[in-house]
Structure 1
Amino acid sequence: MKKIIILIMTSVLLMSCSISTSSINEPVINIFDKHEDLAVDYYLKDNIILGEDITVEKYNEAALIYDTGSIVKLPFKDSISISRLKGLKGIYLYNDFFSITDAYYDAESSLENNERVILVLLDGFSLNQYKHALSKGYISFLQNYYKNEAVSVYTPVTNAGYAAIITGKTPDINGIHDRSNREMKVDSIFQYALENDKKSVILEGDIKILNTEIEPMLHIDLNKDGDTDDEMFESTLTALKEDYDLIFVHFHGIDDRGHSFGPYSDEAMNYISKIDSWIEQLSEIWEGKIILTADHGMHETLEGGSHGECQQADMVVPYFVIN
C-alpha cells in the first residue's frame, strides 16, 4: 500500500537558508505517479528529501515539473534543495519515464526508415479515461496497441501539449506555454518532413492552433452535428489514398464531451468508442505506423471536466502504437 511521508528539514536549517519561503512563487504542489495523486496541495516549507523518508512502492526517479514547462529528472534519493523549489508545480514519481514528446521521435525514426506515419492527437484523453473505457468495454481495438503511459507538459492545455508532440521539446524550449502562444521557437516534425522530401498534411478542426511549417487543412461542420471530427475522419480516409508520408490528425471530440459532461460520462465514453472504431478502420487501410497520444488529460469538476493543473488526471495520458 502506497504511503507518502515527506521529510521536512527543521526550522533551524530554514533560518540558515539564504532564500526564504516567502520568495518561493508557488509553495503548494501536487505529488503524483502514473496511477494517482499521492499528495495534493502539499505545502513546501523547506528541502524535500526523496527516498529517505518516502515509503512508497519503489521508485527510481522523480521528475520536477516547473511553471516554465521544464522537467528536471532526479534520482529518487536526491534532496530537492530550497533553491530548486521556486516555480515548482509538481513532482512525478516513476520507474520508467515516458513523455508525449516521444511521439516526435517515434515519428521521425519511422520517416527516417521510409515508413509512413499517421500521428493522431486525441485531445483531452487521460490515462484515467482510457482505463475507465477499457473496464467498461468501450475501447475494444486500441486496447491491443496500448504501449505505455506518457506525461504531458505544464501547462497541460492544447497549445502546449500539441507543440510538445510535434517538436519533441518541452515548453521552456519550444516556447509554447499556454493557449496564448502560437509561434514555436523550434522546428516541428513537419519541417523534418520538408527537409527530407517527405509529403505531409495536417488535418485540423475549424481553428488553426499553432503556426506550423505547413498550413493545416481546416474543416467546417458540414453536417451540423456539432463536430468537425467526422469531417476530418473522411479527409483522413481520402488522404490514405494519396502519397503522404506523414498524416497528422487532431480529433477534438473527447475533450469537448469531457468539458461538457465530465470525463467519465456516457457521452465521453461513447465518443471514445467511436474514435476507437475510426482508428480500426484506418488501420485496415494504412500501410505504415499509427502513433496516438493526447495533449493533456482531464479531471472532474462540478460542471463537467477541466484541465490545466499539475495533477495526475491532467498530466498523464495513454500512448498507443500500431505497426
Structure 2
Amino acid sequence: MKLWMVIAAGLSIHLVFFFSIFEIYFSTPMVDGMRPHNSPLTPPAKRLVFIVADGLRADKILELTPDGNTPAPFLRNIIKTKGAWGISHAAVPTATRPGHVALTAGFYEDPTSVAKDLQGKEVVFDTIFNESRYTWSWDTPKFLAKVTGGNANRMFSKNYPGHMKWLAGLNAEDMDSWVFEETHNLIEKAKTDEDLNSKMAEDKILFFLHLGGIDHSGYIVRPSSQAYLDHIAFIDNGVKKVYEAFESHYKNDGKTAYVFTSDHGMTDWGAHGDGTPDETLTPLIVWGPGLRSPAKETKRFSDGLSKAWNLADIKRTDINQASMASFLSALVGIPYPMNSILPVPDELFNLTDNELAEMLFANLRQLVEQCEALRDAKQKTSIKLFFKPFKPLTDEGVVSLENMIRSKIDKKEYKEAIEDSRRGIEVALKGIRYYTTYDRQNLWFGIVSGYIGWMIYLVSLIYEDHCSLTTPNQGPQLSRRFKGLIISFFLLLSVMIFIVLYVQSTVWTNYFYILIPCPIWLAVCLRFDILKQMVFLASTLKSLFPYLFLTFCGLETLVLGFYYRDVMSVVIVLFAAWPWIFKREELDKRIVMQWSASCIAVAFFPAIPTGTRELNFNLVVFGGIVAIAVACIIVKTFASKQLAKRKLFLIFGFQICVLAICVFIVRHTAEMAATNRRTPFISQALSWVFLLLGAIEPLFVTTDIRCRLFTIALAWMSPFVLFSISYPF
C-alpha cells in the first residue's frame, strides 16, 4: 500500500473515531409524543421574573471585598432577609446556548450545540417558555429568538440592538442597561395599554431578562478586575429597580417570584467552555411566594465556599443547572418541560405537605412518561428478540406505583406519598439513563476493535518496511483460495451487520462506527504471512521488552499530564537528564548542555498556574521580540552552514516580518481596548490571515529536518503571540 493511501486511510479512520466520542458520550436523544404534567393545585406564584446574568461567577457576586463590603448589596440583603441561596452547578460545555437549554428545557445539550448556535438553528424541544401562558423576554439572539417560532402570539422577544455588541471597545453596561430600560418601558406601557395590562394580569406568565453585558465585560476587563465588580454593582442596582417596579405594578400582591442566576462562569483570564470551578459554579438567589426564607445552616459543605463568602450561617441549597427548569415550572404551575431529566429541587420550596406531594407526583409522572417514550423509541429500532427493557419500570409496575401514590394523596397520607414519589423518581432517572446509553456498549466494541485492528495493521507495515530486507520469509504466502475465503467472510459479515442496523433503523452515523472494523480487520487478516513472521521475530527480541515497558510508562505519564500539569514538568526534566546518563560519551558536550538547558526552560511552563494570569501585554510583546531575535540568529546560522537556498531565506524573512506585524497588532489592540475603542478591521483580518498561513507555510520548505522544524516553529509563533494575553508559550 502506498504511503499516501495509508495516510489518507489513517486520517479518515481517526476522523470517524473522533466524532464517535460525541455520539457515545454527548448525544442528546430527543423523544416526543408525551403528555404534559403539572400539579393540579394552585401554584405558589402567578408570575416569575427570571434573571440570568450571562457569564457571572458565583464567587464574584457572593464574596466580600477586602474592605468587608459586597459588590451586590441588594441581592446579599435578599439572601439574609427574604429568600434562599445556593450554587447552580453548570455542565460542560459552559457556554450561552447549552446553559440556557439546561436552565429552561431541563437537559444538557450535547457539545455540538455550540456549532448549532453559530449556524442559527432553531430550538425544536420543549421549554418553560413554550409551556407558559405568556412570556416577555429581552436577550441576545443566541437562544430565545429561536424558540418563538409559531408562538409569536404569546411569546414576545426583543434582542439587543446590533450596534451594542462589539468584541473590543465596548461599554458592556450598555447591554444590560438596555434590558433594564426595556423592562421598565413594558411596565409603563401596561399603564395605558389595556390589552397588555390584561395579559400581564394573567397567571403562569414569565419575564425573562438575559443580561449579556457581564459576559462581555469579563472578556475585556477580566473577572478579577475592579471594573468587573463595578459591573456587578450596576447589575445589582438594576435588579433592585426592576424588583421595585414589578412590586409597584402588581401592588405588592405577593404573587411574583424572582430567580437570579447565571448560565456559566468565567476563568480569571476571561474564557469559558471548560469544566473548571470558576466556569461551572454559578449563583442562585430566589425569593417570593412558595419559596423558603433564610434558615440556620445545618449541613456542612466540604468546599469551604460558604465560609469564604461569610454565608456559613445561612442555609445553602445547591442544585444541578438542568433541575432549574422543573423548579421554575413548579413555581408558577406550568407543565414540566417534557424532556427534563432531573427532579424538581424541593428544598427551595416552603410548601404544605399536600402541595409538595402533588408537585413531586407530577414530576414523577413526567419522568416516568419520558422513560416509557425512550423505551418505545428504542424498542422500535431494535430486534424484539434481543431487546432488553428496564425491568424496574414495567407497564404494570408503573400503573401500580402511580395508583398507590394517588391513593395515599387522596387519603391525605402526604408524607408517605412524598417518600414514595422520591423513590419512584430515583428509579425513573435510572431508567432514563439506561435507555439513553442503551447502544453504548455496541459502539464501544466497534471503536475499540477498530483501533486495535488499525494499530496491528500499521505495525505490520512498519515491520515489512524495516525488516523484510534482512529477514527471510518465515512461511508460505497466503493462497488465493485462502484470501478469497477471508474476503468472503468479511463481506458476508459486513452485509449481515448492515442488515441488522437497517432493520433497527439505526442512526446513519452508527453505520460508520460499527462497520469500520470490518475493512480494517480484513486488511489485517490478508497480511497473515507478515503477522506470522512478526510473532516469530517477537520471540527473539526479549531484550527490547524493557524499552517497550518504558515506552508504555511514558505514554501513561503523558495522559496523566492532561490531569496534573506538573507531571509534564517532571517528565521534561527527566528528558534533560537523559543524555547525561545514557549518551554522555556519544554526544558533543556543548550539544548536551544546549539540550538540557532547552528542556529545563520548557519545563517551567507546565508548572505555571493556569488560573492566576493577569493581563500583561507588555510581556507578550517582549516575548515576541525575543522570538524575532532568536529567529534572526538561527537564519544567520543556516546561511553560514548553507543549509538552505535563497528561496528558503525569502520564506524565513517573510515569516519574521509576519511575526513582527503580529507583535504590533497585539500592542495596538491592547491600547485600543484600554481606551474603549474598537479594534480596526484591518487588524482583525490580518490576524485571521496569519492564523491560516501558519498551517500553509511549512509546506513550501525543504524536507531537511532542521529547516522544516524551524519553519513550523516560526509559522506558529505568530498565532501564539496573537492568542496570548499574559505570556506567549
- Which range, TM-score by smaller chain? 0.5 to 0.7
Q: CA RMSD in A?
A: 3.2
Correspondence for 1:204 among 116, 123, 139: 139
Q: CA deviation at 1:69?
A: 7.7
* Distance in 1 separating the partners of 2:162 and 2:64: 27
**1:125-274, aligned counterparts within 5 Å?**
125-132=56-63, 136-146=69-79, 147-172=85-110, 177-178=113-114, 180-181=116-117, 182-193=121-132, 198-205=133-140, 207-210=141-144, 211-213=146-148, 214=155, 216-220=157-161, 227-241=174-188, 242=190, 243=197, 244=200, 245-274=205-234
Q: CA deviation at 1:240?
A: 3.2
Q: CA deviation at 1:212?
A: 0.8
Unaligned 5+ runs, structure 1: 1-23, 26-65, 71-107
Q: Say if 1:263 and 1:300, in contact at 8 Å, map to a contact too.
A: yes
User: Secondary structure of the residue that 2:275 maps to in structure 1?
Assistant: coil
- Count the aligned residue pairs: 214
* Distance in 1 separating the partners of 2:51 and 2:64: 18
Describe the shift of the 1:149–1:109 C-alpha distance in structure 2 as closer, same or farther (beyond 3 A).
farther
* Distance in 2 separating the partners of 1:316 and 1:155: 13
* Distance in 2 separating the partners of 1:145 and 1:284: 13
**1:19-58, aligned counterparts within 5 Å?**
none
Q: CA deviation at 1:137?
A: 2.2
Unaligned 5+ runs, structure 2: 1-16, 19-23, 29-38, 80-84, 149-154, 165-169, 191-196, 248-255, 289-729
* Distance in 1 separating the partners of 2:53 and 2:40: 21
Describe the shift of the 1:312–1:171 C-alpha distance in structure 2 as closer, same or farther (beyond 3 A).
same
- RCO higher in structure (CA 8 A, sep ≥6): 1
Q: Say if 1:118 and 1:248, in contact at 8 Å, map to a contact too.
A: yes
Name 1:121's counterpart in structure 2: 52
AA aligned opposite 1:153: A
User: Secondary structure of the residue that 2:209 maps to in structure 1?
Assistant: strand
Look at both structures and tell me which one has the larger radius of gyration over its CA atoms. 2
User: Secondary structure of the residue that 2:51 maps to in structure 1?
Assistant: strand
Describe the shift of the 1:129–1:115 C-alpha distance in structure 2 as closer, same or farther (beyond 3 A).
same
Name 2:237's counterpart in structure 1: 277
User: Secondary structure of the residue that 2:208 maps to in structure 1?
Assistant: strand
Instruction: Report which of the two has the higher share of helix.
Output: 2
Report which stretch shifted further, 180-189 or 150-159: 180-189
Q: CA deviation at 1:176?
A: 7.0
User: Secondary structure of the residue that 2:114 maps to in structure 1?
Assistant: coil
- 1:298 and 2:266 matched: yes
Q: CA deviation at 1:161?
A: 0.4
Describe the shift of the 1:110–1:180 C-alpha distance in structure 2 as closer, same or farther (beyond 3 A).
farther
Identity of aligned residues (%): 22
* Distance in 2 separating the partners of 1:254 and 1:129: 11
Q: CA deviation at 1:177?
A: 3.2
Describe the shift of the 1:185–1:221 C-alpha distance in structure 2 as closer, same or farther (beyond 3 A).
closer
* Distance in 2 separating the partners of 1:159 and 1:258: 18
Please list the CA deviations of residues 280-309 of structure 1 after superposition, one character each: whole Å capped at 9, or x if unmatched: 1112222411111101000112xxx11111
* Distance in 1 separating the partners of 2:262 and 2:139: 15
AA aligned opposite 1:298: M
Correspondence for 1:68 among 17, 26, 41: 26
Describe the shift of the 1:69–1:295 C-alpha distance in structure 2 as closer, same or farther (beyond 3 A).
farther
* Distance in 1 separating the partners of 2:233 and 2:159: 24
Q: Say if 1:133 and 1:272, in contact at 8 Å, map to a contact too.
A: no
Describe the shift of the 1:309–1:249 C-alpha distance in structure 2 as closer, same or farther (beyond 3 A).
same
Name 1:28's counterpart in structure 2: none
Q: Say if 2:97 and 2:142, in contact at 8 Å, map to a contact too.
A: no
* Distance in 1 separating the partners of 2:259 and 2:41: 10
* Distance in 1 separating the partners of 2:40 and 2:91: 22
Q: Say if 2:257 and 2:287, in contact at 8 Å, map to a contact too.
A: yes
Please list the CA deviations of residues 31-62 of structure 1 after superposition, one character each: whole Å capped at 9, or x if unmatched: xxxxxxxxxxxxxxxxxxxxxxxxxxxxxxxx
* Distance in 2 separating the partners of 1:218 and 1:261: 24
Describe the shift of the 1:233–1:168 C-alpha distance in structure 2 as closer, same or farther (beyond 3 A).
same
* Distance in 2 separating the partners of 1:236 and 1:131: 25
Please list the CA deviations of residues 140-174 of structure 1 after superposition, one character each: whole Å capped at 9, or x if unmatched: 111133410011122000111011111122215xx
Return the TM-score normalized by structure 2.
0.27
Return the TM-score normalized by structure 1.
0.58
* Distance in 2 separating the partners of 1:130 and 1:112: 30
Report which stretch shifted further, 158-167 or 211-220: 211-220
Please list the CA deviations of residues 5-25 of structure 1 after superposition, one character each: whole Å capped at 9, or x if unmatched: xxxxxxxxxxxxxxxxxxx98
Describe the shift of the 1:259–1:132 C-alpha distance in structure 2 as closer, same or farther (beyond 3 A).
farther
User: Secondary structure of the residue that 1:216 maps to in structure 2?
Assistant: strand
Q: CA deviation at 1:132?
A: 3.9
Q: CA deviation at 1:209?
A: 3.1
* Distance in 2 separating the partners of 1:202 and 1:272: 21
* Distance in 1 separating the partners of 2:103 and 2:60: 20
Q: Say if 2:139 and 2:212, in contact at 8 Å, map to a contact too.
A: no
Q: CA deviation at 1:110?
A: 11
* Distance in 1 separating the partners of 2:26 and 2:130: 25
Describe the shift of the 1:124–1:149 C-alpha distance in structure 2 as closer, same or farther (beyond 3 A).
same
Describe the shift of the 1:216–1:67 C-alpha distance in structure 2 as closer, same or farther (beyond 3 A).
farther
Q: CA deviation at 1:185?
A: 4.0
Name 1:76's counterpart in structure 2: none
Q: CA deviation at 1:219?
A: 3.1
Correspondence for 1:309 among 255, 259, 274: 274
Describe the shift of the 1:183–1:261 C-alpha distance in structure 2 as closer, same or farther (beyond 3 A).
same
* Distance in 2 separating the partners of 1:317 and 1:69: 24
User: Secondary structure of the residue that 2:49 maps to in structure 1?
Assistant: strand
User: Secondary structure of the residue that 1:153 maps to in structure 2?
Assistant: coil
